[in-house]
Structure 1
Amino acid sequence: MEKKKRLAELKKRREKLVKEAWEKGLKSVVGKARNLLSAAENKIRKLYDSELSGLKKEAAQKKKAAKENKRDLEAKEQALKQFKKNSSS
């Protein structure tokens, strides 16, 4: 009788330990998944930031080139006006 009682206690204890181990395992898996997700988010953020930085640099270069082209065009227009003025007189 005592053996059966002892076996029942051991069985309950084993089930409790298995349940705790299972829960810890799930927590571990969830923790690992969170870490992986966080790492992926950081990589995506880094890629986005570098892409955005590249686009900003490209836009600044295009703006600078547009200003230079505008100056060149204005200088050519001025030279054309001067040429027309000189040729008509």
Structure 2
Amino acid sequence: MSQADAFAAIADANRRHLLEALRRGPKTVNELAEGLPVSRPAVSQHLKALRDAGLVSVRNEGTRRVYRVEEAGFLKLNLWLDQFWQG
């Protein structure tokens, strides 16, 4: 299965908001949903898109799913963007 396009994943403002929140540390869906005007199921769908693009990862802690930024996914974005500043 091919990985989803990271640039398409971050095109959505709600997803960028989620990434900003996760940049400060791992969080659950409930914690992330507090800062958005969308439902928890919608937050889960946005997180799935970010996971599919390799930008976040998830781990189970009991009954909770904890999300965090996946640095390797951002490294690919950085490498692509850096080519525009190198000459």
Q: Which has the higher contact order (CA 8 A, sep 6+)?
A: 2
TM-score above 0.5: no
Q: Which has the higher helix share?
A: 1
Q: TM-score range by the shorter chain?
A: under 0.3
Which structure has the bigger radius of gyration?
A: 1
- 1 or 2, which has the higher strand percentage? 2
| TM-score normalised by L of structure 2 | 0.24
TM-score, scaled relative to structure 1: 0.24
